[in-house]
Structure 1
Amino acid sequence: MGSQPGEGPVEFIRSAILSGSYAPGERLKEAEVAVRLGVSRTPVREAFRVLETEGLIEVLAGRGARVRLFTAEDVQLIHEIRSVLEGMVARQATLHVSKSHLAALESSCDRLENLPDGSVLECDQENQYFHGLIFDIVGNDRLTHIARRLLEVPLPYKEDYWSTEEVKASSVAAHRRVCEALRTNDAVAAEEAMRQHVRDAGAGVARNAKLHPAGTSPAG
């Protein structure tokens, strides 16, 4: 696992946590991360502080940091907040959507539908691509930042969720309902379809994921 060109410590560590390369509960040591990135410990320490504010790690006094453990309550709260935010974005998207936007969204639905069952990473990436397109249609950088920096759930918690054919099928159906609402410029339907979809996803992840009871922490 190495950094990409132009990728700083914050982006590298965030990406590694969200992809599961750094596992839930894993200890992160400043010196080891600094060597891996070819930087001093100072920017790594600063990155730890940033990622702590984003809720992805816990800084341990004098002992580096640890990847945060998510509880079912964490996952449900994140998705409840996302449902409101993404519902609002979907409503706004009805004012800006174009034929090319719709074509891209519908192509995403087709790709997700045609992915082999059990393609966890690919399903999650395509799902994120679809939701990202809605934000791109609106073009509000502040909303995009909130969603992509403060309301993410790492992939390890979504693996069991995406492993079933039923989840993929229901996600495709939900995405197509959003597409239809955007195609007809139905703001109310777009908002409700997106809100329901995100709430359902949150309930599914919380129900299927290997989550941690509130108040627990790994040894060490």
Structure 2
Amino acid sequence: MAKEQAGSRQADRAEPTETGPLYLRIRDALADAIAAGRLPKGALLLEGHVAGIFSSTRTPVRQAFALLEAAGAIRRFEGRGFIVGPGREAPRRLALTAAMFGDGCEAQALRKAPAWEAIYEALEREMVHLSVFGRHRINEVELARAKGVGRQVARDALTRLEAVGIVEKDERMRWTVVPLDEKRMRDLHDIRVALEPVALKQAFPFMPEEERAAMTARLERALAGYPDLSLAEMDGMETDLHITCLGHCPNREILIALRRARFMLNVSKHIMGVSHVMPKDEPFISEHLVVFSALEAGDVDAAAEALRHHIAISLPKVIGRVTEFRETHRPDVSAYVGDIGH
């Protein structure tokens, strides 16, 4: 049986992934390093450290860890990382190096991180906060100066924000923050209610079983540990269902339409992040588990309906968070932010 499982895992990796999704390439590099002994049993793996090795953000590393955990190659360590190997070895806090993943250059060559990624996360958070208070103008030159980057890097970050509907260009081609009022939240919510269930049904045949199993296990651990969860863990579970799972949908046009609607996930993440007080009743974990349980049973229609219901009842919560934020905070206006308008 063990040989059959090993053969199955090897078959999962038989198809080359040099140009495939980044999380699969990271998964393969880690698996090869473990198999070759360059990552010894007991080695402690943390998202941030591995992301640094691969010049990556944390999201693809988190996805790679989920697949390796499902395959039994690594196991969770006190919620703060993973340990190499399925046994009970004590954690070994080794300094990870690129040499552990091949010839010393292989890991860094896996992906050259775009320069805009260095400023993107903080900038996204700032722009989401500003959007609550109306329309703002963003000076690209001043943004680059404030962040200590070139103008092209600042423009690339703003272009990324434009793709998800956080900023846009006005009639004079100046960058502006798109106001986040209740009407816009309802409009984006309607897109998610209509399209995410369709995307889930189309994505189901392409979802790796081990990926779904790892996501389900993560939800079960979180439910048992609630409310002792970090914002990163909460965001990771949202990413699992609404981005990673739906990302397997083969209909590119649906995914493009959902990209802007996912702004609502960013709102929840960044607004909750200002004052991280967990509600008495967990906000979404059990609802996600209903979706994954239906997928596990092969009842795709039930899973899609559970997802639709989950999104439908989330809107009042988001509107409430945004309203409270608007009433209790004032915009932190940087030098590159112009006058507030409505």
| TM-score, normalised with respect to structure 2 | 0.50
- Structure richer in helix, relative to its length: 1
Give the deviation of 1:205 after TM superposition. 0.5
Contact 1:80 1:198 in 2 (8 A): no
Give the deviation of 1:97 after TM superposition. 4.1
Structure-2 residue corresponding to 1:138:
249
Contact 2:163 2:260 in 1 (8 A): no
Structure-1 residue corresponding to 2:311:
198
- Paired residue total: 212
Give the deviation of 1:199 after TM superposition. 1.3
Question: What secondary structure sits across from 1:218 in the alignment?
Answer: strand
Structure-2 residue corresponding to 1:75:
185
User: Which range is displaced more, 98-107 or 139-148?
Assistant: 139-148
| TM-score, normalised with respect to structure 1 | 0.72
Counterpart CA distance in 2 for 1:162 and 1:174 is 20
Contact 1:34 1:44 in 2 (8 A): yes
Question: What secondary structure sits across from 2:313 in the alignment?
Answer: helix
Question: What secondary structure sits across from 2:314 in the alignment?
Answer: helix
Counterpart CA distance in 1 for 2:213 and 2:244 is 11
Question: What secondary structure sits across from 2:129 in the alignment?
Answer: coil
* Equivalent AA in structure 2 for residue 7 of structure 1: P
Counterpart CA distance in 1 for 2:274 and 2:149 is 35
Question: What secondary structure sits across from 1:55 in the alignment?
Answer: coil
Structure-2 residue corresponding to 1:148:
259
Q: From 125, 138, 143, give the equivalent of 1:19.
A: 125
Tell me the C-alpha RMSD between the 2 structures. Answer: 3.9
Contact 2:168 2:177 in 1 (8 A): yes
Structure-2 residue corresponding to 1:100:
210
Give the deviation of 1:189 after TM superposition. 0.4
Q: For 1:174-198, what per-residue CA distance to the aligned partner results, in whole angstroms no more than 9, with x for missing partners? A: 1111011101111210110011111
Counterpart CA distance in 2 for 1:179 and 1:161 is 29
Counterpart CA distance in 1 for 2:251 and 2:275 is 30
Counterpart CA distance in 1 for 2:182 and 2:118 is 26
* Equivalent AA in structure 2 for residue 164 of structure 1: M
Contact 2:127 2:177 in 1 (8 A): no
User: Which range is displaced more, 66-75 or 193-202?
Assistant: 66-75
* Equivalent AA in structure 2 for residue 19 of structure 1: R
Q: Which has the higher contact order (CA 8 A, sep 6+)?
A: 1
Structure-2 residue corresponding to 1:165:
279
* Equivalent AA in structure 1 for residue 245 of structure 2: I
Runs of 5+ consecutive residues of structure 1 not aligned to the other structure: none
Structure-2 residue corresponding to 1:89:
199
Contact 1:119 1:163 in 2 (8 A): no
Matched, 1:7 2:114: yes
Cα 1:177/1:72, change in 2 over 3 Å: same
Question: What secondary structure sits across from 2:340 in the alignment?
Answer: coil
Counterpart CA distance in 2 for 1:158 and 1:204 is 11
Cα 1:60/1:188, change in 2 over 3 Å: closer
Contact 2:165 2:263 in 1 (8 A): no
Cα 1:161/1:86, change in 2 over 3 Å: farther
Give the deviation of 1:99 after TM superposition. 3.0
Matched, 1:218 2:309: no
Contact 1:118 1:165 in 2 (8 A): no
User: Which range is displaced more, 47-56 or 101-110?
Assistant: 47-56
* Equivalent AA in structure 2 for residue 205 of structure 1: V
Q: For 1:125-180, what per-residue CA distance to the aligned partner results, in whole angstroms no more than 9, with x for missing partners? A: 3312332232244355544443234531333445589743345x241111111011
Contact 2:193 2:311 in 1 (8 A): yes
